[in-house]
Amino acid sequence: MHVNHLPGAPAASSIEFDTFLSVDIRIGTVVEAVPFPEARKPALKLTIDFGPTIGRKRSSAQITEHYTPETLLGRQVAAVVNFPPRQIGKFMSEVLTVGFADEAGAVVLFKPDRPVPDGSRLF
């Protein structure tokens, strides 16, 4: 299934509220960010701390247009934490870091406008 991420794409079809709730999106703080040169598309390997309940999880994120490892350390990001892990080369990505496309289609990360506790769930 291909999803059009660019601005101006039509809205997705309607879903039930329970379907939305089945996607577990949490806030975590980036505690490690390193280049991922082995990835087919430019990416970074992130370690994100989601607090004591979920713990630290790893994510491969194609976010190199707007972010460097140094700018991500200590930043809160949102991620889907209940997708199955996905093998990307030799790296196991455990969560899907989420963002929005800018005008050119590059990812702009989602973050709350004020700090919230790591592990907080989007609702």
In the predicted structure, residue 1 carries a pLDDT above the cut 50: no
pTM: 0.89
In the predicted structure, residue 77 carries a pLDDT above the cut 70: yes
Structure tokens at 80: 């889907």
Structure tokens at 63: 């976010």
CA torsion angle 89 3 19 83 (round to 10): 0
In the predicted structure, residue 46 carries a pLDDT above the cut 80: yes
Average pLDDT in the 94-111 region? 94
In order, the DSSP letters of 62-123 are --TTT--HHHHTT-EEEEE-SSPPEEETTEEE-SEE-EEE-TTS-EEE---SS---TTPBP-
Instruction: Give me the architecture of the 21-106 domain, per CATH.
Output: Beta Barrel (2.40)
